[in-house]
Amino acid sequence: MSSKIDQQLFSAHEHALEHQACPKCQEQGRDGELQLRHGKHGPFLGCHLYPACDYIKPLHQNDGHVIKELGVPCPDCSHELVLRQGRYGMFIGCSHYPQCNHIESLDQPEEEQADHIACPECGKGELVERKTRFGKLFYACDNYPKCKFAVNQPPVMGKCEKCGFGLLVEKKLASGTKLQCADRKCHHTQQS
């Protein structure tokens, strides 16, 4: 049961990009062409005359482009709020950007319901839920960049019974949920 696979189908989109002139080279009177290249943020188009020409064009949009209009006025300027796709995921922002820089997290209702836990390091900020650009949750001081305290597990108010540090984190183990000291030097595990 051997079937022939047409290899041309796999590279059809790459051939569609061939012979596309580089806009930067055209301005400077050179014969640069765009090629498909791969970088740490994914595929992009780059001039084949690199490093003499550093023109690049991303193949996917991570520039905060509008996905949906929400029909809700911006609290700062009264223009409409829109759902945008950015480099670190989706967020709500003002349609009048860059004149208005208002943005909101999609997870804001959950953040408001969470217990307010004071930052044990600076004592001024509160720990808030954040997401990495890959979507993983962590909890950090809202007084960033002055305070860089952060933990990967959900914080729990309490004191470590070994060192007396003023914050514990919820550690899920096969034997059940335990509380662990949030101090990186201690990490003492105690019963919940």
Asked if 86 and 152 sit in the same domain, the reply is: no
Residue 166 maps to a domain: yes
Which DSSP helix (H) or strand (E) runs through 56?
strand 56-58
CA angle 101–103–104, rounded 5-degree value? 165
Q: Comparing C-alpha atoms, which of 153, 167, 160 is closest to residue 191?
A: 160
Residue 5 maps to a domain: no
pTM of this structure: 0.41
Backbone conformation region of residue 60, classed left if phi is above 0, alpha if psi is from -120 to 50, else beta? beta
- The range of the structural domain enclosing residue 49 comes to 12-58
Residue 185 maps to a domain: yes
Per-residue confidence (pLDDT) for residue 8, from 0 to 100: 53
Mean pLDDT, contiguous 10-residue spans, the chain (192 residues)? 55 57 86 82 81 80 68 87 76 84 65 64 84 82 83 86 85 81 83 68
Question: 9-33 in b/e burial notation, b at 16+ Cβ within 10 A?
Answer: eeeeeeeeeeeeebeebeeeeeebe
Asked if 172 and 145 sit in the same domain, the reply is: yes
Residue 125 maps to a domain: yes
Per-residue confidence (pLDDT) for residue 152, from 0 to 100: 87
- The CA-based dihedral angle spanning residues 105, 107, 111, 114, taken in that order and rounded to the nearest 10 degrees: -170
Residue 122 maps to a domain: yes
Asked if 113 and 184 sit in the same domain, the reply is: yes
Per-residue confidence (pLDDT) for residue 17, from 0 to 100: 52
Asked if 85 and 40 sit in the same domain, the reply is: no
Per-residue confidence (pLDDT) for residue 64, from 0 to 100: 61
Per-residue confidence (pLDDT) for residue 60, from 0 to 100: 61
Question: For the chain, how many structural domains are there in total?
Answer: 3
Residue 2 maps to a domain: no
Residue 152 maps to a domain: yes
Secondary structure (DSSP) of 86-97 = ETTEEEEEETTT
Asked if 86 and 156 sit in the same domain, the reply is: no
Asked if 139 and 165 sit in the same domain, the reply is: yes
Per-residue confidence (pLDDT) for residue 114, from 0 to 100: 44
Asked if 76 and 133 sit in the same domain, the reply is: no
Residue 7 maps to a domain: no
Asked if 126 and 176 sit in the same domain, the reply is: yes
Asked if 84 and 24 sit in the same domain, the reply is: no
Asked if 102 and 51 sit in the same domain, the reply is: no
